[in-house]
A and B are shown apart, each in its own frame.
Chain A
């Protein structure tokens, strides 16, 4: 007999019998482990700041209040190529627009693109990977060969091909970037489902009468969620990079809207005369990507129960 039964036979038996323990909070433990990792905390802090900037800029635009020092899209040719000074912290670009305002404004687009593209590739990739891994056989072979074909083509090239079919524009860039990274998620999910589905608890779920979709969503996916979350966090950073690359090629955001990659691309001719027009957008991209990578790494440790601190 388990020892807990004997404790309920003492004078507190009624309370003990009625008392049901709360499930332990897995989130709390995760947070405790994450906090130990300084790099991850820094990453999380930067992500928080970026989100704050993006949301503030977006809201102020919606309600029509200008909180950026200058209108990011207002050009004044008489003020072009001003080196960074007290008035224009990051200088002005070739059209005389304030770089500082444009970079803050670009945060909104980069974060949106990162999260939206990951949402697209994550949902489709997890679904395809689950079906392939769980079903196996021909379904698996068909889905994974299609994924292999997509992986065989360099992702930026594939994204350009998608853009050629879909047309230019930010929304299309998001879809293109989302679509090209589907195989990464599908592969990861398929691989882990292959190993998890052999567990007895999945077979047990089948024996008690679960349907296939319930087994996948209730019994298999929760056990590989940490892998998916980590990959998604790292995926945001690569989506930000891909947007920048598309922007650099002039396929992403259309002028005059500010986007870091687009700013880099348009300023590349002035690298010697006005290097600050390249340096600051470059730093913004680097910081964002770094923050997501640091946070993703920390999250991987925090989600692994073996390395968790109690």
Chain B
């Protein structure tokens, strides 16, 4: 459990919003800004944050859909950006993704069997005669039946489609799966089913997850460790229990206080943040959170706090703990 599977070092992704006519960038959106963390083999690393904080961008960099502006990604000790295209392909095969919207992530012109068979075929994982058997096996793994193999995605419900998306990700026998808010588009009743399925598959196939979500309650169910993101920066990383019991960063405290409690009798102090999330094109100087923070210090505006380990395995980026 302590072996490091993926190490991300100072990873940044900047999108150019505007350029002058010579192609020189005028304004840049820092979607992910110098993010560092590690994912250990066999764990589920949760990543939470508001919409627009760069979680999905980060996930897409890890599966090689975007190339990072700067920073390094180590996967099983190998630095991915140093590899050539072909070598990277074989590594990236081991990193798969489950997409957020099951209605958009399946090709409407392909049967679900073909969708699941495709990764096996193009990566030459099995001889053609054995592909079909594997497809049926994968369908069964995610709780779909053999006879549904030739149906088109539009004949399925959202939860079933997400199962197809999971089967497709499993087809290449990946080591790491980036789950990009896999349940946020589903009904609450279906959410639990899919989360349990993901949990079961993790044990069965020995998977590691990077689990992206925008609510701490979903992450609580499945993750071992949780990272909190705000405006492209990681604010806090801690084991799940530690984070929920002892949140250090004011932003994490505010997020946790926003989780509804089931017991209506119980009064809870709710931290209401002032203002809106600032634009990532023009973020506040210093700490990204300083414009909304309720424990703001003078130096917060001046320089950005680094992510440091304040207690074993509990990392936080905040001047309060310097």
Judged by a CB distance under 8 angstroms, whether B42 is at the interface is: no
Known: A2-B144, A201-B106. 19 other contacts (CB 8 A): A1-B193, A2-B160, A5-B143, A21-B150, A21-B151, A24-B152, A200-B100, A200-B101, A201-B107, A204-B168, A205-B107, A206-B65, A208-B122, A209-B89, A209-B119, A209-B172, A210-B122, A214-B122, A223-B108
Task: Identify the closest chain B residue to A4 (Cβ).
Answer: B145
Number of chain A residues close to chain B: CB under 8 A: 30
**C-alpha spacing A214/B165, complex, angstroms:** 19
Known: A21-B150, A23-B111, A209-B123. A203 touches B145 (CB 8 A): no
Chain A neighbourhood of B172, CB < 8 A: 208-209
> Which of the four size classes fits the interface of chain B?
35 or more
- Chain B 137-175: CB-based contact to A (< 8 A → 1; otherwise 0): 000000111111111101000001001010010011000
Q: In residues 9-38 of chain A, which contact B (Cβ within 8 Å)?
A: 16-24
**C-alpha spacing A201/B115, complex, angstroms:** 10
B165 engages A204 (CB within 8 Å): yes
**C-alpha spacing A8/B154, complex, angstroms:** 22
- Report the minimum CB–CB distance from A281 to chain B (whole Å): 42
Chain A neighbourhood of B149, CB < 8 A: 20-21
Task: Identify the closest chain A residue to B132 (Cβ).
Answer: A20
- Report the minimum CB–CB distance from A218 to chain B (whole Å): 8
Chain A neighbourhood of B150, CB < 8 A: 20-23
A-B contact count (CB 8 A): 95
Judged by a CB distance under 8 angstroms, whether A88 is at the interface is: no
**C-alpha spacing A214/B119, complex, angstroms:** 12
Q: Name which of A1, A17, A208, A219 has the most chain B CB atoms within 10 A of its CB.
A: A208
Judged by a CB distance under 8 angstroms, whether A199 is at the interface is: yes
A16 engages B107 (CB within 8 Å): no
Q: In residues 196-227 of chain A, which contact B (Cβ within 8 Å)?
A: 199-201, 203-210, 214, 219, 222-223
Judged by a CB distance under 8 angstroms, whether B285 is at the interface is: no
One of B97, B143, B146 near A17 (C-beta < 8 A): B146
Chain B neighbourhood of A22, CB < 8 A: 150
- Chain B 90-115: CB-based contact to A (< 8 A → 1; otherwise 0): 00110011011100111111010000
Q: B residues engaging A (CB < 8 A)?
A: 60, 63-65, 89, 92-93, 96-97, 99-101, 104-109, 111, 118-119, 122-123, 143-152, 154, 160, 163, 165, 168, 171-172, 193
B151 engages A201 (CB within 8 Å): no
Jot down 13 A-B pairs with beta carbons below 8 A, ordered by A: A2-B163, A4-B144, A8-B145, A18-B146, A19-B147, A20-B147, A21-B150, A199-B105, A201-B104, A203-B105, A204-B97, A207-B64, A214-B122
One of B145, B163, B168 near A208 (C-beta < 8 A): B168
B105 engages A200 (CB within 8 Å): yes
**C-alpha spacing A223/B107, complex, angstroms:** 8
**C-alpha spacing A206/B109, complex, angstroms:** 17
Known: A204-B165, A208-B96. A222 touches B146 (CB 8 A): no
Chain B neighbourhood of A18, CB < 8 A: 146
Known: A20-B150, A208-B119. A1 touches B143 (CB 8 A): yes
- Report the minimum CB–CB distance from A32 to chain B (whole Å): 17
Task: Identify the closest chain B residue to A6 (Cβ).
Answer: B145
Chain B neighbourhood of A24, CB < 8 A: 151-152
Chain B neighbourhood of A207, CB < 8 A: 63-65, 92, 96-97
- Report the minimum CB–CB distance from A62 to chain B (whole Å): 40
A209 engages B122 (CB within 8 Å): yes
Chain A neighbourhood of B60, CB < 8 A: 203
- Report the minimum CB–CB distance from A206 to chain B (whole Å): 6
One of A19, A23, A222 near B151 (C-beta < 8 A): A23
**C-alpha spacing A141/B53, complex, angstroms:** 32
Q: Name which of B111, B145, B149 has the most chain A CB atoms within 10 A of its CB.
A: B145
- Report the minimum CB–CB distance from B24 to chain A (whole Å): 16
Chain B neighbourhood of A21, CB < 8 A: 147-151
Task: Identify the closest chain A residue to B119 (Cβ).
Answer: A208
Chain B neighbourhood of A4, CB < 8 A: 144-145, 147-148
**C-alpha spacing A5/B139, complex, angstroms:** 11
Chain A neighbourhood of B193, CB < 8 A: 1
Chain B neighbourhood of A17, CB < 8 A: 145-147
Chain A neighbourhood of B119, CB < 8 A: 208-209
- Report the minimum CB–CB distance from B321 to chain A (whole Å): 38
- Report the minimum CB–CB distance from A91 to chain B (whole Å): 52
Lowest 3 A-B CB distances belong to which pairs?
A208-B119, A200-B105, A200-B104
Chain A neighbourhood of B99, CB < 8 A: 200, 203-204
Chain A neighbourhood of B154, CB < 8 A: 305
- Report the minimum CB–CB distance from A130 to chain B (whole Å): 16
Task: Identify the closest chain A residue to B160 (Cβ).
Answer: A2
**C-alpha spacing A4/B142, complex, angstroms:** 13
Known: A23-B151, A223-B107. A5 touches B118 (CB 8 A): no
- Report the minimum CB–CB distance from A188 to chain B (whole Å): 18
One of A8, A20, A199, A219 near B104 (C-beta < 8 A): A199
**C-alpha spacing A209/B151, complex, angstroms:** 23
- Report the minimum CB–CB distance from B274 to chain A (whole Å): 35
- Report the minimum CB–CB distance from B138 to chain A (whole Å): 13
- Report the minimum CB–CB distance from A217 to chain B (whole Å): 12
B151 engages A208 (CB within 8 Å): no
**C-alpha spacing A223/B165, complex, angstroms:** 19
Task: Identify the closest chain A residue to B178 (Cβ).
Answer: A207
Q: Name which of A2, A201, A223, A305 has the most chain B CB atoms within 10 A of its CB.
A: A201
**C-alpha spacing A17/B148, complex, angstroms:** 10
**C-alpha spacing A8/B139, complex, angstroms:** 14
Chain B neighbourhood of A19, CB < 8 A: 146-147
